[in-house]
Amino acid sequence: MMLLSLLSGLIMGAAVLFVLYRWVIPMAVQYHGGLALLWHDVIVERALDTLTRTSRPQRILKAVQTKATVGDPQSVITAIDHFCRHREWAMNVGDEKGSILDSVVNEVSPVTVLELGTYCGYSTVRIARLLPPGACVITLEFNPDYAAIARQVIKWSGLEDKVQLVEGASGDWIPWMKEHFGVQAFDLVFLDHWKERYLPDTKLLEECGLIQKGTVLLADNVICPGTPDYLEYVRNSPHYNSQYYRSHLEYTKVEDGLEKSVFLGY
């Protein structure tokens, strides 16, 4: 009798924990940025890494290989979005802000694009699929494990000819862009890496002459986690015309947005 009671209690406890994990807590953190990042990006990720002995980027790659069609960039984007909404959250730019990114890429029609922060290649694929013939994305990723996954995601999408993925720190690579890649200046710069690097890297791009009149800077996560020093700079500088696109933190209801800043020249 005691054994049955104990077993029943364990089953009930497991059921409660599952409901909390699967529905209650995710719903509760939907509207709170700090809690959402703590839950999804720390607690859940570490727990699943331990349980599955895989990393979140590896799980994203598996979703792409299982659900997406080789050579079809849109199917890669759809597979990652579905995985992140219904299986496991990840800090891609996401579908909602992704549509804003798409509209900016289409508006600018850039020939040279710099992406700071590749992660798993989601935004790289979004950008590269919209580029005109002869255009390319140079994307920088500091983490070699992320870069290895991103290369496979980009290859699966069939866009590897339009992408040059570079491993290393942005602060180390930016001064060598002209010499290494033969780039005179970028038409579009997408900032989506370490938030504390947005401002110093923007200033470094300016110093290196990689931003010209008409260059568009598009910065993600300017509200959550937030980039207050960067926003203060581009919004108050006479050299930029800046506009905020209100949206939500990827796959949540937390306010976030993209800041589009057009360089006006000196």
Active site residues: 192, 195, 220-221, 250
> What burial class does residue 220 get, using C-beta atoms within 10 Å of its C-beta: 0-12 exposed, 13-18 middle, 19+ buried?
buried
* CA dist., res. 138 & res. 181, Å (int): 9
Query: How are beta strands 240-248 and 255-263 bridged, if at all?
Result: antiparallel
Nearest to 253 by CA among 215, 224, 218: 224
Pairwise CA distance, residues 16 & 5, whole Å: 16
- Helix, strand or coil for residue 244? strand
Question: Could you write out the DSSP letters of every residue in 120-184?
Answer: TSHHHHHHHTTPPTT-EEEEEES-HHHHHHHHHHHHHHT-GGGEEEEES-HHHHGGGHHHHH--S
- Closest listed residue to residue 32, CA positions, set 248, 177, 188, 258: 248
